[in-house]
Amino acid sequence: MLNRRNFLTAAVGVAAAGGLAACAKEDDSSSDSSTGSGGGKKLTLGFSQVGSESGWRSANTDSVKSAAKEAGYTLKFSDAQQKQENQISAIRSYITQGVDVIAFSPVVVTGWDAVLKEAKAKKIPVVLTDRSVETSDESLFVTLVGSDFTDEGRRAAKILEKVLEKAGHKGAVKIAQLEGTTGAAPAIERAKGFKEIMDADHKDDWKIVVSQTGDFTRAGGKQVMAAFLQSNPDINVLYAHNDDMGIGAIQAIEAAGKKPGKDILIVTVDGVKDGFVAMSEGKINAIVECNPLLGTQLMEVVQKVKDGETVERWIKTKESDFMQDQAKAALPTRKY
């Protein structure tokens, strides 16, 4: 059992290893000022969020809303409820309203050309956040503010090496993979990065025996993991593309009479509070960080884009104390 000091040390260590996956609901929010941070006419930002499927996404939404208010921007916010058609509808609404900049975190990678061409025709710049898209014309969006998901997958594989060593595991490593939403950038790239390390360094002893989407949700993780255990009862490792699917999987593992973190070693990605609660209980073995606090960076980029300044094509997420903060927040839930 971890004491407080050791738990925080473990959290910092994992963060260091991690380094740095119906109609839409809309609301408008802004600061009280009639001018933006530059002292001129207030900038209006239209932002379409993927949904509210996970703790990471909730933290990301809070960060965007808070940063827009602090910057003095009018924020038109839409929750797409994980449906691409809702995001496209929201973006078209922002185009009609004549917002200054559009930002969105795309549900999936493909299928955006038409609506992005509409935004370009109206001279409204588009900034991607968190996730990338594939387009026929690179000029359809200005930049992406987000993490390197492929590298997160690589780091998940490297940290699994350490987890296996610590557990004293010998023999074949039979991995179940809980993928994120089908077609979403983090699902594609976290799987790619993990497999890259696995194929290079563990071709003979690691094997992904089953892999399926849990849609980045806790309920999806639970349902799919239960099916995994029925078809492959000898699974001994779970790699989940986010904490919430991992937490759902823990419920299925326990229902099957197995011990998560022991009978089945678990590595996840994100670093939200509930993930650290599970890690403090020994049910998740390691977490790779993905920082959701993109709000301040996004607002800085939005202002530069509006001012016509040149920005990099990909602006990587800054490191933060997010994981350490989540670990500290998880501590009161444990009795020592």
Q: What is the pLDDT of residues 215-259, one digit of tens each?
A: 999 999 999 999 999 999 999 999 999 999 999 999 999 999 999
pLDDT given for residue 331 in this prediction: 74
pLDDT given for residue 21 in this prediction: 33
Closest CA to 216 of 176, 183, 243, 188: 243
Q: Which segments within 31-79 are labelled E, that is strand? A: 44-49, 74-79
Three-class secondary structure of residue 300 per DSSP = helix
Q: With the CA atoms of 52, 53, 56 and 60 taken in that order, what torsion angle do they form, in degrees rounded to the nearest 10?
A: -20
Residue 295: exposure state from Cβ atoms within 10 A (0-12, 13-18, ≥19): buried
Question: Under a CB-based contact definition with an 8 Å cutoff, are residues 21 and 242 in contact?
Answer: yes
pLDDT given for residue 28 in this prediction: 65
pLDDT given for residue 26 in this prediction: 63
pLDDT given for residue 318 in this prediction: 79
CA pair distance 193, 42, nearest whole angstrom = 41
**Positions in the chain whose pLDDT score sits under 50:** 1-23, 31-39, 333-336
* 273 φ/ψ angles, rounded to the nearest 5 degrees: -55, -50
pLDDT given for residue 330 in this prediction: 84
* 178 φ/ψ angles, rounded to the nearest 5 degrees: -95, 110
pLDDT given for residue 20 in this prediction: 30
pLDDT given for residue 29 in this prediction: 57
10 Å Cβ neighbour count for 110? 11
